[in-house]
Amino acid sequence: MTVWGVGCHPGLASAQEEFDRKRFSSLIRTTPFVSEVGLDRRSKVPMLTQEKTFRVILQELTQSPRIASIHNSGACHLVLELLEEVPIKGVVLHWWRGTPAQTDRAVALGCWFSINAAGMKYTADVARIPRDRILTETDHPSGDRSAPAPRQPGAVADVETALARVYGTPSADVRRQVWRNFKTLAEEVDVVELLSPPIRRMIAVA
């Protein structure tokens, strides 16, 4: 099952330079998912340029809420500041490496957190995230380099197993929890009807 989304990666200079607000606004009308938007301290794109693009994207998402996977590498504090300045629903913090205080702040803002195999190296940080705010991801091929074969976009069994150890629960319970969380998230931003029929059937029984 594939869901097409739209984004503007903060680490890609060409994407940042070519970002067009009207085009972005038009594209998100037909997708439930906005991905790889946000800030990246390691990017060669000037931070002011990244912030300008990200702020515009957040402003558009206040008008058309979507599930939004937000990049925050080395810029957790700035991302949270912008989310407080322009609050939106449906925020999923991707590859989150914030401090405990920043994690608590993100939870208070209503954020969700997507965890991949690489993120499970930091179990104490993951344990701080409430179970009802957890989602799984691979960020294939970058985020599942430490995962056992096969490495592919939908292979999250290893992440589920690792989360089960953190939360002291069977892996099957983790999978059920993640689907319940995804259902809640999709309903929160009112994008269920934009999902494909197979995914709608899955969340209907979550």
Q: What is the pLDDT of residues 22-39, one digit of tens each?
A: 999 999 999 999 999 999
Tokens standing for 107?
């939870």
Nearest residue to 35 via CA among 63, 64, 7:
7
Give the integer Cα–Cα distance in Å for 167 and 174: 9
SS3 21: helix
Give the integer Cα–Cα distance in Å for 206 and 202: 6
Q: At 149, is the pLDDT very low, low, confident or very high (cuts 50, 70, 90)?
A: low
Tokens standing for 18?
């070519």
Point out which residues pair with 94 in neighbouring strands.
71, 114
Q: What is the pLDDT of residues 12-71, one digit of tens each?
A: 999 999 999 999 999 999 999 999 999 999 999 999 999 999 999 999 999 999 999 999
Give the integer Cα–Cα distance in Å for 66 and 54: 14
Q: Could you tell me the domains of the chain? A: 13-137+145-204 (3.20.20.140)
Q: Once rounded to an integer, what is the mean pLDDT over residues 100-108? A: 97
End-to-end CA gap in the chain:
16
